[in-house]
Copies of this chain bind each other. A is one copy, B any other.
Amino acid sequence: MDLIYGIDLLGTMVFAISGAMAANRKGIDIFGATFMGFVTAIGGGSLRDVFLNIRPVWVEDGNYLLAIFTGVLISVLFNKNLYSFARTLFLFDALGIGFFTIVGVQKSLSYESSAMAAVMLGMFSASMGGVIRDTLMNETPLILRKEIYASACLAGAICYVLLHMTPISENFNAFISASLVFLIRFLSVRYNLSLPSVPPVEEKET
């Protein structure tokens, strides 16, 4: 339990770093960077909890906010250096979305959502923070662009819900499903893979 709590705080911090770095890249002031770190880190999980009609965890547990401020501080102090760690940060992020997806599915199921809703809410947990980050920065959200990101979360969430119906232990299931998210994300970036889109319709002149 303590391990999961620790990973959750660490993942929150990594998300806060990603939000604050996006703000730093655009020359936004340090308050704006803190704000972006905050909404990126809490956005996905808060939306899930709001839909489950429960309170987001950070409203009562101050440690999440401390993790966020630590992440923002790191991004402000070590901004330049962080770019040398781009690969490390990418790995952390890929691990983080795998973890957040599965935690999101588990929480939704334990609050009695349907299995399908748990899949959507697990995917939301991991990806909506980034959607809010991109929308506030006035950019088309990453998940609407060509990269495989939230679809990796979706695959992992579906995997968890399916294995949940088998006698496999919950912990083992969580490990397999989170690894699947990580692997899909990792391989898609490594080999530059993307999903097909529907061919656009040519508009005829009339």
Interface of A is mostly: helix
Q: How many copies does the complex hold?
A: 3
Chain B residue nearest to A29 in the complex (CB): B195
How long is the Cα–Cα vector from A36 to B144 in the complex, in angstroms?
8
**A:21-39 near B, CB below 8 Å:** 23-33, 35-36, 38
**Given A52-B55, A131-B136: 15 more A-B contacts, CB < 8 Å:** A24-B197, A25-B201, A29-B151, A29-B195, A31-B143, A31-B148, A33-B198, A59-B114, A59-B121, A60-B114, A61-B114, A65-B116, A79-B201, A135-B138, A136-B144
Q: Please classify how large the interface on chain A is, using the bins under 10, 10 to 19, 20 to 34, 35 or more.
A: 35 or more
Would you call B60 and A51 a contact (CB within 8 A)?
no
Residue interface bits A57-91, CB-to-B below 8 A is 1, else 0: 01111100110000000011001100100000000
Q: Which 4 A-B pairs have the closest CB atoms?
A: A29-B195, A31-B151, A24-B198, A62-B114
Would you call A31 and B137 a contact (CB within 8 A)?
no
Chain B residue nearest to A82 in the complex (CB): B201
Measured between C-beta atoms, what is the minimum distance from A180 to chain B in Å? 15
